[in-house]
Chains A and B, each alone.
Chain A
């Protein structure tokens, strides 16, 4: 069967961007890397394109994490440049709120073991158990166990953070009223 890049792109692009975003935590970078993934797919014409793109995305994200450390120095210089078009205030507030929520999820994800996190993200990207197993090196039978643990830990870690934040808020309120 002919390799259908367009179909693959349409069915997986968003999922690949999300998958990469949860690794690099930078929207533009995630889009760039996703483009790169599909460029490679075009060259390789893989047999199992869907699991292939996520395998490549995982590799690219790993390389990216290494080079990001080298780039950081450069970025700190750039952040002092003025932003071209400031967003409206409401957007800023929304973004801040979302950023806070996102940060909690990010920390919760970071608290998982690398393998648990990988399996969870692959599952969320829509891969089936055998595909997840092939990519993570687990037995198919172990995917369920890993997912069960990953889900529980993610939710628990997140809830703990949320309740911490709430109790902090209560303390602040108590301090403000006294």
Chain B
């Protein structure tokens, strides 16, 4: 049997066309043609990836050539809250729950327990499937996703009063749970009128990859990192966490930013070892991490003989890795 290999209709994409394609400068017809060719051609896909990397690197270099006072202005950011990360996370949870008023009370506890990946026991006679609120059951099953929602889906910009949609009792219970690691229980009426008891234990401890990280204001993070906090241009910064490095040098930084649709992306910048640790932590929660790339190197050690340390930057979010890589190529700045 012989296979006749038909040669591709198109020759490989010329370099300038790759650039024009990456720059979005082709007409829709040309674009479609290029896209079709890319689909079939491994060589051109690789060439395009190279062009995209080159584009990103050019933007990065040009970003260095920016007037100093503009660099210092940075991004408008709410002042960092004094409250602990746990309490903060809790308030955020409530904010989210508050939007789903009818099931607020039950959801509050479920988010807490699911998010903490800890015991929630059904003390009633019936199982999860008989619960009157199927959405909650799903939420529980999709526990890692809930972790992500707690982490990623929330806005920190303004946290209005939440008590209007959540009963004071639930609020008390949940805040107690958040503040001290012990079992709390509450009764929630299920569909048929029978009462089921939920137990949540020590919520919030395991959900936050930035737990133990210092919450910092944008200015503070920039000061400690010597003006280089990697972030995505044009997106609101909603949280900044830093952790000092064992090796010295700049701290590892995590910057949370909001996409237009409200989802959040973390930008993580640190030494190879630090980033590795964060990657493993994120892995466990099902959050995608982008392909890391080089950040601005650090110079550690005595002034006369500093050692150059490589730093990496990566994005993490509930997005496909391709989207993250593209986002990083297009928006990342190391300033």
Contact = CB atoms under 8 A, between A and B. Distances in A.
Of the four ranges (under 10, 10 to 19, 20 to 34, 35 or more), the interface on chain A belongs to 35 or more
Interface stretch (A50-58, A69-77, A147-155): A147-155
A113 interface: no
A104 B296 CA distance: 14
Contacts of A169: 306, 308
Interface stretch (A39-47, A78-86, A93-101): A93-101
A37 interface: no
Interface string B52-83: 00110111011011111111000000000000
B67 A18 contact: yes
Contact of B69 (A27, A105, A124, A128): A27
Contacts of A101: 64
For A98, A154, A158, A176, the residue with the greatest tally of chain B CB atoms inside 10 Å of its CB is A98
B68 A176 contact: no
Contacts of B36: none
Contacts of B70: 14, 17-18, 27
A151 B18 CA distance: 13
A109 B65 contact: yes
A177 interface: yes
Contact of B64 (A95, A105, A147, A155): A105
Interface string B1-43: 0000000000000011111100101000000000000000000
Given A124-B59, A155-B57, A176-B305, A21 B65 contact: yes
Contacts of B68: 27, 95, 98
Interface string A13-34: 0100110011000010011000
A121 B58 CA distance: 10
A94 B227 contact: yes
B58 A17 contact: no
A67 interface: no
Nearest to B21: A144
A102 interface: yes
A134 to B, nearest CB: 14
A148 B19 contact: yes
Chain B contact surface mostly:
helix
Contacts of B25: 128-129, 143-144
B244 to A, nearest CB: 16
A158 B25 CA distance: 26
B223 interface: yes
A177 B19 CA distance: 47
A148 B50 CA distance: 11
Contacts of A18: 65-67, 70
B62 A147 contact: no
Contacts of A14: 70
Interface of B: 15-20, 23, 25, 51, 54-55, 57-59, 61-62, 64-71, 223, 226-227, 304-306, 308
Q: Nearest 9 pairs between A and B by C-beta? A: A144-B16, A27-B67, A144-B20, A129-B25, A145-B16, A151-B58, A148-B19, A105-B65, A94-B227
18 contacts: A21-B67, A22-B65, A27-B67, A31-B67, A94-B227, A120-B58, A121-B62, A124-B58, A144-B19, A144-B20, A144-B25, A148-B16, A148-B51, A151-B19, A151-B58, A155-B54, A169-B306, A173-B305
